[in-house]
């Protein structure tokens, strides 16, 4: 019997330091996991409070959706403090001591993650796990896009192993040539960018084609049209069922309250997420920040001082490139803002 690092999950009572120690311990060496016959693999599709909704479909079972709880002791093959996130692949022990409720006993390794600092306190909030790309959603109006936020989200995507892309919605609200010019820098640095109107069905197909394989996370401020885009692309039967799980509160507005995983086809899925107000970066080192600004890479090896923070040093190639217009000054401003926020 292989040894497992099984962690007791009474975490709420722990101090910061102990939590950190726990997180470190959670990297499991043996990857063969618990080989109990009864365990079933499933995908976490949404989380509401302490209830985890999982889907067995993609792992060859016809059990459909199931509501689970987290076992008191759980094995995690990743080292992040948030044990279970939407998109995780888990092992479920069906029907046990809880009666009707099944339990999640293991979380598989994450191939990628989108993390930020949670709104409540200094904790890591894993918005989604195991996705291939982040489609950063923004709008031409109500609310007007914020480039500083877009740049933060790009950094976070790259850190977590996701391919970033931008989708600017509501192009019916603003002259298109203004929008294209104002956001031209993203195309210049090689990022896919789509200008669409979900409501009026403009260019929605080009986005659908772009995300037609792999798992795509939709993230951005509230009201930019994430759910509207999802609804245009996907009208599957499960959609309604999944929506009913957690949108019961409904006060007229259709605002999304928890992340939800929608399988679009055999090889593609979309994770719709709740609107964000801000996006504070989690666990990033000042020294590695420049590597997440891909257009800086052509310059920073030529800085006079190594290491160079590219903020005040004389002979800084990055700063020179900004002055010569080779690096976009607003992108550089985003860099400085993030640099300042990392103390
Ligand atoms: N003018 C215009 N309005 C749109 C467009 N797409 C969506 N909307 C409207 O924008 C509002 C918000 O859309 P949602 O899809 O709910 O936005 P969301 O990003 O999912 O918002 P949260 O779930 O709160 O994060 C709705 O009233 C939509 O009808 C568009 O292309 N043009
Ligand atoms: Mg929504
Ligand atoms: Zn420099």
Task: Render pLDDT for 225-252 as a digit per residue (tens, 0 to 9).
Answer: 999 999 999 877 666 666 666 555 444 5
**Percentage of residues in the chain having pLDDT higher than 90:** 66
Average pLDDT over residues 153-174: 97
Distance, CA 232 to ligand 1 centroid (Å)? 12
**Nearest CA residue ID for atom 1, ligand 1:** 170
Q: What is the pLDDT of residue 319?
A: 98
**Phi, then psi, of 179 in degrees rounded to 5:** -60, -45
Task: Tell me which range, 143-157, 228-242, 250-264, is most confidently predicted by mean pLDDT.
Answer: 143-157
Q: What's the 255 CA to ligand 1 centre distance in angstroms?
A: 9
| Of residues 286 and 119, more confidently modeled | 286
Global pTM value? 0.87
Q: Which residues contact 47 (CB under 8 A, 6 or more apart)?
A: 53, 84, 85, 86, 258, 259
Q: Does the beta carbon of 224 sit less than 6 angstroms from any atom of ligand 1?
A: yes
pLDDT score at 292: 96
Residue 271, classed as helix, strand or coil, is strand
Note the pLDDT of residue 219.
96
Higher pLDDT, 99 or 153: 153
> 144: CA distance to ligand 1 center in Å?
12
Q: Count Cβ atoms below 10 Å from residue 341 Cβ, excluding itself.
A: 12
Angle between helices 329-341 and 147-159 (to 10 degrees): 70
Rounded to 5°, the CA angle 253-256-260 comes to 150
Whether 257 lines ligand 1, by a CB cut-off of 6 Å, is no
Residue 10 reports pLDDT greater than 50: no
Q: Is 273 in the pocket of ligand 1 (CB under 6 A)?
A: no
Please give the C-alpha separations between residue 134 and each of 7, 194, 237, 335, in angstroms, as whole numbers.
Answer: 31, 13, 25, 20
Q: Which residue has the higher pLDDT, 248 or 172?
A: 172
Mean pLDDT of 37-43: 88
What's the whole-number average pLDDT of the chain?
86
Judged against a pLDDT cut of 50, whether residue 169 lies above it is answered with: yes
Say how far apart CA 90 and CA 104 lie, in whole Å. Answer: 7
pLDDT at 99: 56
User: Cβ distance 88 to 129 under 8 Å?
Assistant: yes
Return the number of other C-beta atoms located less than 10 Å from residue 181's C-beta. Answer: 10
pLDDT given for residue 239 in this prediction: 66
**CA nearest ligand 1 atom 11, residue:** 223
Ligand 1 contact, 143 CB (< 6 A): no
Answer whether residue 141 shows pLDDT above 60.
Answer: yes
Confidence of residue 216 (pLDDT cuts 50, 70, 90): very high
CB 138 within 8 A of CB 169: yes
Q: Any idea which residue has 């069906």 for tokens?
A: 94
Atom of ligand 1 minimally distant from the CA of 197: 31
For the CA of 218, the closest atom of ligand 1 is 19
- How does strand 65-76 pair with strand 102-107? parallel
Residue 24 pLDDT > 50 = no
Query: What's the CA gap between 280 and 118, in Å, rounded?
Result: 8
Ligand 1 neighbourhood includes 228 CB (under 6 angstroms): yes
List the residue whose alpha carbon is closest to atom 5 of ligand 1: 199
State the Cα–Cα distance between residues 273 and 114, nearest whole angstrom: 11
Quick one: tokens of 147? 């480039």
* pLDDT confidence of residue 154: 97
**Residue among 169, 199, 272 whose CB has most ligand 1 atoms within 8 A, to mutate:** 199
Please state which of the ranges 99-108, 157-166, 185-194, 210-219 shows the lowest mean pLDDT.
99-108
């Amino acid at each position: 019997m292989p040894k497992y690092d099984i962690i007791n999950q009474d975490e709420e009572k722990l101090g910061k330091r102990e939590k950190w120690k726990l997180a470190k311990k959670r990297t499991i060496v043996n990857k063969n996991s618990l080989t109990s016959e009864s365990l079933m693999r499933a995908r976490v599709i949404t989380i509401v409070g302490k209830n985890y909704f999982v889907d067995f479909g993609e792992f060859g079972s016809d059990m459909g959706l199931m509501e689970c709880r987290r076992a008191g002791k759980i094995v995690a093959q990743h080292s992040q403090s948030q044990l279970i996130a939407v998109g995780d692949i888990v092992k479920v022990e069906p029907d046990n001591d809880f009666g009707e409720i099944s339990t999640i006993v293991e979380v598989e390794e994450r191939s990628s993650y989108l993390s930020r600092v949670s709104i409540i306190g200094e904790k890591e909030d894993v918005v989604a796990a195991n996705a291939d790309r982040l489609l950063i959603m923004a709008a031409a109006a109500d609310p007007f896009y914020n480039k500083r936020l877009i740049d933060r989200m790009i950094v976070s995507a790259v850190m977590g192993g996701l391919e970033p892309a931008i989708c600017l919605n509501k192009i019916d609200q603003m002259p298109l040539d203004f929008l294209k010019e104002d956001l031209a820098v993203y195309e210049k640095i090689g990022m896919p960018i789509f200008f669409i109107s979900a409501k009026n069905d403009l260019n929605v197909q080009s986005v659908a084609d772009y995300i037609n394989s792999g798992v795509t996370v939709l993230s951005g401020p509230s009201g930019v049209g994430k759910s509207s885009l999802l609804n245009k692309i996907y009208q599957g039967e499960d959609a309604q069922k999944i929506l009913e799980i957690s949108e019961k509160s409904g006060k007229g507005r259709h605002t999304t309250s928890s992340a939800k995983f929608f399988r679009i086809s055999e090889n593609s899925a979309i994770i719709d997420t709740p609107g964000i107000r801000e996006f504070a970066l989690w666990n990033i080192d000042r020294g590695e920040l420049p590597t997440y600004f891909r257009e800086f890479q052509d310059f920073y090896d030529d800085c006079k001082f190594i290491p160079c923070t590219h903020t005040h040093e004389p002979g800084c190639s990055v700063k020179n490139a900004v002055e010569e217009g080779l690096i976009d000054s607003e992108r550089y401003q985003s860099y400085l803002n993030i640099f300042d926020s990392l103390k």
